[in-house]
Structure 1
Amino acid sequence: MLFRLPDHDTLYQALIDRDEAYDGRAFVGVTSTGVFCRLSCPARNPKSENCTFFASVQECLEAGFRPCKRCHPMAPAAAADAAVQRLVSALEQRPEHHWSEGDVVAMGLDPSTVRRAFKRHYGMTFLEMARLTRIRSGFETLSGGGRVIDAQLDAGFDSPSGFRNAFARLLGQPPSSFTGRELLKASWIDTPLGAMIAVSDRHVLHLLEFIDRKALPAELKRLRAHSKGGVGIGREPPTEQAETELAAYFSGQSAAFTVPLKFHGSAFTCEVWRALREIPAGETCSYSDLARTIGRPDATRAVARANGANQLALIVPCHRVIGADGSLTGYGGGLWRKQQLIELERQYAAPARRADHREEIA
């Protein structure tokens, strides 16, 4: 199920179109310059006969190409944007600040350019990212049993209604609705690709999503409907285990997730999710491949819908499913995350590939 590059003409057209859907999946080595680039590189397009396409940075380097200084193919796409990195660093230094477009202008940046860049890389604007960062402080206060007014102040909201509305947009319910007696508990987990919300009971993990996913409030609403005790704020053992395993995953130590899970879906949907968990880290497959894997070759569209309905991001690795032509296609957590996850997981496939290579030599 390893990704296979499309033909030369398809990839060259993607290069001409500066198609970001191939970022992290295909690279071009330009023989006339000795440089390799992303297909979305803003540099002048080379001639087709001077282009050689590769599936990884490693292949480009082994072929003797050096990385482009314009598109920085060895770094995540967002890291190559100086304005984005400058604002992200500023937010990390002042997470409690009420960021505005005036602050962006004061830093010598154009708000409209920044807005487009953040939407492209993160699926949200810088101001939306700043708002979510502030909400985190209030979330942690409530998780520790604090009062709503204390959570509001810790989150840096002057207006109680503003805090309630912002919190409700994130979790689908206002902070005053939590009783402390809920069977399911929602908690905040930080990752290198952004904060996530985990929902567990004492025994299993029910949900793991990036906080900026638009479907999160609807997913939490469905969980509340399934659970008689509702969803509250707090932390249970499965969330602790998920956080530990996520840390190992992002640090390159292990791609194995053993936290007990609860699937909320039809029999077919759950079958697709189980099949997703069988895709090894470092490999990808198409929707049609996945449909054939479960013995339903004519159910490609239904498989795609089940893939999109996944509520356990990373642990049920729907990011490993790509288009038949090798493009990234859709991902609820944002294509920028999908790109980085696939790039990150190359390290997990490398040992197996080296072993295969040694066996061939033997």
Structure 2
Amino acid sequence: MMTGDRKQEFYDALLERNTEYEGFFFVGVKSTGVFCRPTCPARKPKFENCEFYYTAEEALLASFRPCKRCSPLSHPNQVSELVQTLVQAVEENPEKKWREKDFRELAVDESTARRQFKKRFGMTFVQYARARRMGLAMKEIRSGKPMIDAQLTTGYESSSGFRDAFLRIMGEAPSSVQEDHILKASWLDTRVGPMVAIADETQLFLLEFVDRRGLEKEIEVLRSKTRSAIIPGKTSPIELIERELDLYFKGELFKFNTPVRLLGTPFQMMVWDKLKKIPAGETRSYTDIACEIGKPTAVRAVARANGANQLALVIPCHRVILSDGSTGGYAGGSIRKKWLLDLESKSNYQVNE
């Protein structure tokens, strides 16, 4: 049962169009019969005309129909048709070097493409296409083909141009890259915001919310520690974690089976091991964790290790709260942390052993 305080919190977020609440609740408007996401641009209803729901399914079952303005049944970060069109075009001809006329042929504005890709992937469309071409170059190099073949296959007439582009995107010179030095990164949409997953062919190295503070630095540290190039793409661990995340957010799974690679100090590894053992629906304090690892005075060090976790949800650092019972901070946002704990504490959710 939703409390009055929670309803007021959601109503305030609705009035402010607070993007931090995207995916956390939906509002049914009794005067119109529609339900909306928190950031809907439509005129705001009176509090007494609002019914609040944690899921779109609950709103639908309460006979509300989805709002046509904010499309509450789609991800708030759903890929636009323009992005879909260009991604498909790249996949159909990944070796292609894009020029102005190519955008005109697709009736796409080049500057719009640049903005949308920058917002979506953190890189312009040209950078995206170039990275995809470089991914093909890696396949050529790993197959043992001469460097010149990889260079020409990806459309670089100059060997120095190929090397410079490779260094800029991959972080290593072509001749030094081995198969186990390639990581792939993929954008994953979830109901509480997009995440980025980075993995090789066998293990997941990073899973973070895209809006996490310091994400770019995290990725650079990962690149440095593994001495790897990171390129767009999917691997088996990324496909598996995507399926498991879908089940998690449906309340059907709370123990992840995706194989992971942990990169940390012995102390961090000890803390992360304790975090993995916190059951869904339960919490521990930083002091609890410090005592469990036999270092009761290392509370601050535990907090730092908790914050250094690069596998959100898989290593459930969101289940660590303050000693006074308050939720405390979370790199993915305190509102998101509170929502995750609420999800896991509901009685109808059970841990999958």
Cα 1:81–1:153 change in 2 (3 A) is same
Deviation at 1:248, TM superposition (A): 5.2
Contact 2:26–2:55 under 8 Å retained in 1:
yes
- Aligned sequence identity (%): 38
| Count, aligned residues | 317
Deviation at 1:138, TM superposition (A): 1.6
Distance 1:328 1:117 in 2: 28
- Specify which of 183, 186, 199 is matched with residue 182 of structure 2: 186
Contact 1:199–1:208 under 8 Å retained in 2:
no
Correspondences of 1:1-362 after superposition (within 5 Å): 7-79=6-78, 81-99=80-98, 103-104=102-103, 107-178=106-177, 180=178, 185-188=181-184, 197-199=198-200, 205=203, 207-208=205-206, 214=216, 215-224=218-227, 242=237, 245-246=240-241, 249=244, 256-257=256-257, 259=259, 261-265=261-265, 267=267, 269-278=268-277, 291=286, 294=289, 306=305, 309-312=308-311, 315-316=314-315, 330=332, 353=348
TM-score by length of 1: 0.64
Contact 2:204–2:237 under 8 Å retained in 1:
no
Deviation at 1:251, TM superposition (A): 7.4
Deviation at 1:111, TM superposition (A): 4.7
Provide the residue aligned with 1:227 in structure 2.
Answer: none
Cα 1:272–1:155 change in 2 (3 A) is farther
Range 20-29 or range 158-167, more displaced: 158-167
Task: List alignment gaps of at least 5 residues for structure 1.
Answer: 225-230, 234-238, 332-337, 357-362
1:301-324 CA-to-partner distances (Å, cap 9, x unmatched) read: 8777545543456744668999x8
1:185-209 CA-to-partner distances (Å, cap 9, x unmatched) read: 4354778669965358xxx958346
1:103-126 CA-to-partner distances (Å, cap 9, x unmatched) read: 556644555554444444444333
Distance 1:316 1:232 in 2: 24
1:21-70 CA-to-partner distances (Å, cap 9, x unmatched) read: 22222222222212122212233333333233322222222222222222
Larger radius of gyration: 2
Provide the residue aligned with 2:192 in structure 1.
Answer: none
1:232-276 CA-to-partner distances (Å, cap 9, x unmatched) read: 99xxxxx98746744753675976326364432351x33453355
Contact 1:5–1:55 under 8 Å retained in 2:
no
Cα 1:108–1:330 change in 2 (3 A) is farther
Aligned partner of 2:97: which letter?
A: H
Contact 1:167–1:174 under 8 Å retained in 2:
yes
Deviation at 1:300, TM superposition (A): 9.4
Aligned partner of 2:348: which letter?
A: R
Cα 1:37–1:293 change in 2 (3 A) is farther
SS at match of 1:75: coil
1:109-165 CA-to-partner distances (Å, cap 9, x unmatched) read: 555554444444444333333332222212222333333333333334444344433
SS at match of 2:78: helix
SS at match of 1:7: helix
Cα 1:299–1:64 change in 2 (3 A) is farther
Task: List alignment gaps of at least 5 residues for structure 2.
Answer: 190-194
Range 106-115 or range 19-28, more displaced: 106-115
Contact 1:78–1:85 under 8 Å retained in 2:
no
Distance 1:165 1:220 in 2: 18
Aligned partner of 1:249: which letter?
A: E
Cα 1:16–1:190 change in 2 (3 A) is closer
Distance 2:94 2:203 in 1: 29
Provide the residue aligned with 1:359 in structure 2.
Answer: none
Cα 1:197–1:68 change in 2 (3 A) is same
Distance 1:304 1:95 in 2: 44
Distance 1:196 1:133 in 2: 17
Aligned partner of 2:39: which letter?
A: S
Distance 1:299 1:62 in 2: 49
Contact 1:171–1:220 under 8 Å retained in 2:
no
Contact 1:6–1:326 under 8 Å retained in 2:
no
Aligned partner of 1:126: which letter?
A: F
Contact 2:289–2:302 under 8 Å retained in 1:
no
